[in-house]
């Protein structure tokens, strides 16, 4: 990190939100950014040469409420909509077709799962997630039913993936790796750290593995031989400690 600062004059720090900056509770609406972490991120955005970006599967509008930082880049829906620190925004041409499909899928899913205790439907505008962590019944039946609903709405621009006790429909032609590339262009190609905990973060890890000064960091309690990350932090608490160390390095 010191070499990146001294040799390139800057660093792009990208981080996921759920499971990385915060411990995911299983209920999206109950997951909030701790005050200490928010203040730390705010301090990082004020450091000369350090570019902060939060890239999340959350909907863009929701992400801006969860991470209310003006001088950071925010990328929602796995990067499908990005607001750069400069204030400019990016949204690919496929966004409107995706939004229309998700609206129809959301309606069908809510009709089928209405009233099921422990099932949470998260409409992200450009994506949709079905959380079943708290459902005490047959989770396999829930997953099968969701897949059948998705098959009636499926388009090539969207894909169904499995996450941690959730099924998610997300853009197939755009991912967090694409978002990282755009953010690097915006940040003048400085060395880049990406911290994430989920399978959706592997696209970003893949991009950084191809770069000499790319540092992919997995957040996990255990080693994961299948991950493309080269470094590991155990949990959001260790992430916070790493960010505090990074702040001190760039202050000196």
Looking up tokens 């949709």, which residue turns up?
128
pLDDT at residue number 2: 66
Structure confidence by residue, pLDDT tens digits, 203-219: 999 999 999 899 999 99
Q: CATH 2.40.400.10: does it fit domain 2-92+174-251?
A: no
- Asked whether residue 28 carries a pLDDT value surpassing 90, the answer given is no
Say yes or no: do domains 2-92+174-251 and 95-171 share a fold: no
- Quick one: pLDDT band at residue 1, thresholds 50, 70, 90? low
Rounded to two decimals, what is the model's pTM?
0.84
Query: Could you tell me the residue ranges of all domains in the chain?
Result: 2-92+174-251, 95-171
Distances (CA, A) of 158 to 35, 70, 99, 153, 172: 35, 30, 10, 10, 5
Contact 127, 119 (CB under 8 A): no
How far are the Cα atoms of 112, 130, 147 from residue 160, in angstroms, in the given order?
18, 11, 8
Mean pLDDT, to the nearest integer, of 57-79? 93
Q: pLDDT tens across 70-112, in order?
A: 899 999 988 889 999 999 999 877 778 888 999 999 999 999 9
Average pLDDT value for residue range 191-196: 97
Tokens of 110: 């809510």
Q: Is the dihedral of CA 242, 45, 49, 175 positive or negative?
A: positive
3-state secondary structure at position 163: strand
Total length of the chain: 252
DSSP assigned state of 191: -
State which fold the 95-171 domain adopts: Alpha-Beta Plaits (3.30.70)
Give the pLDDT mean for 110-118.
91
Residue position matching structure tokens 């809510």: 110
Beta bridge partners of 168: 129, 161
Return the exposure string of 170-199: e unless at least 16 CB atoms fall within 10 Å of the residue's CB, then b: bbeebbbbbbbebbbebbeebbbbbbbbbe
Exposed / middle / buried, residue 136 (Cβ in 10 Å: 0-12, 13-18, 19+): exposed
pLDDT band at 4 (very low <50, low <70, confident <90, very high): low
Using the predicted structure, report yes or no on whether residue 67 has a pLDDT greater than 90: yes
- Distance, CA of 42 to CA of 49 (rounded, Å): 14
């Amino acid at each position: 990190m010191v070499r990146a600062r001294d040799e390139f004059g800057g660093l792009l720090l990208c981080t996921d939100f759920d499971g990385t900056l915060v411990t995911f509770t299983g209920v999206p609406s109950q997951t909030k950014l701790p005050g200490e972490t928010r203040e730390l991120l705010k301090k990082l955005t004020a450091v000369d040469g350090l570019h902060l970006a939060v890239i999340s599967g959350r909907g863009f509008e929701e992400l801006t409420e969860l991470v209310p930082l003006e001088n950071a880049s925010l990328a929602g829906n796995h990067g499908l909509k990005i607001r750069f620190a400069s204030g400019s925004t990016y949204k690919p041409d496929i966004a409107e077709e995706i939004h229309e499909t998700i609206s129809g899928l959301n309606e069908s899913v809510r009709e089928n799962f209405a009233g099921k205790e422990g099932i949470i439907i998260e409409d992200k505008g450009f994506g949709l997630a079905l959380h079943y962590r708290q459902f005490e019944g047959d989770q396999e039946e829930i997953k099968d039913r969701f897949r059948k609903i998705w098959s009636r709405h499926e388009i090539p621009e969207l894909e169904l993936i499995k996450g941690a006790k959730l099924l998610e429909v997300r853009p197939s032609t755009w991912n967090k790796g694409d978002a990282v590339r755009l953010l690097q262009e915006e940040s003048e190609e400085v060395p880049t750290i990406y911290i994430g905990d989920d399978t959706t973060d592997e696209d970003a890890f893949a991009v950084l593995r191809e770069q000499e000064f790319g540092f992919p960091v997995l957040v996990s309690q255990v080693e994961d031989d299948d991950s493309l990350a080269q470094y590991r932090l155990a949990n959001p608490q260790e992430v916070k400690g790493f960010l505090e160390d990074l702040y001190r390095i760039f202050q000196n």
